[in-house]
Amino acid sequence: MRERTNEQWLADLRGPNPDEALADLYDLLVRGLRAGLRSYGGGVDANAEDFAQEALIKITGNLGSFRGESRFTTWAQKIAMNVALTELKRRRWRDVSLQDLFARREAGDRGPADTQLTPEQLALQNTVLHELRRMVDEELTDRQREAVVAVLLEGMPISEVARRMGTNQNALYKLLHDARKKLKRRMEAAGLSPQEVLAVFDEG
């Protein structure tokens, strides 16, 4: 592949004969995708071409948003990783609905206390647990609770929870940020420091 400056990439891709630049960019994206997604295991390699093709369309359609603050190829790879990972997450979580996730949680183990605890420690844990439950209940909206449980407690990707809640990743991150801020303020107001809570739960 021929080396190009950012300006040359843009000029070639926008020019009357973009085929060579498109082919070079496509090859670069495929190699980048193979390397970038190696940890995602089998199947990804076979999809690298599809992801590169989809990314190429996005990249050439958004050349105007490249501001030249990085190398053009890094910017293009960023878009390719986003395309690929969005799709891989969608596939991995395809069969999991929020309803299933919540139902499993309800049916699941309530997290019995460590039997090594003294009655005093157990009582303290129960008090803190009760207090935190009340904070979650009183401070958060229904949507914030859903997002907190699915993303922060159950580890589902934000983008996948967002899809199920009829919103997008960016908006859901903001909703979670607001939820975390509310809980933080409430804990501060109640004089309950995170360090204390972690110490009570033996994680200090």
Between 16 and 48, CB nearer to other proteins? 48
By CB under 8 A, the count of residues binding other proteins is 68
User: With b meaning 16 or more CB within 10 Å and e meaning fewer, what string describes 74-103?
Assistant: ebbbebbbebbbbebbeeebeeeebeebee
User: Among residues 13, 21, 33, 55, which is the contact residue for other proteins, using CB under 8 A?
Assistant: 33
Given the rule CB under 8 A, which of 4-12, 13-21, 54-62, 69-77 is the region that contacts other proteins?
69-77
User: Among residues 49, 60, 78, 165, which is the contact residue for other proteins, using CB under 8 A?
Assistant: 78
Cβ at position 141, least distance to other proteins in Å: 11
User: Could you tell me the two tokens for 195?
Assistant: 């360090």
User: Among residues 6, 8, 73, 121, which is the contact residue for other proteins, using CB under 8 A?
Assistant: 73
E strands in the chain:
none
* 90 is a site residue for other proteins (CB under 8 A): no
Between 14 and 90, CB nearer to other proteins? 90
Q: What does the longest C-alpha to C-alpha distance in the chain come to?
A: 79
Report which of 145, 127, 128 is spatially closest to residue 136, judged by C-alpha positions: 145
Binding-residue pattern over the window 98 to 117 for other proteins, x denoting contact by CB under 8 A: ----xx-xx-xxxxxx----
Cβ at position 110, least distance to other proteins in Å: 6
> Which residues does 30 contact at the CB level (< 8 Å), separation at least 6?
48, 49, 52
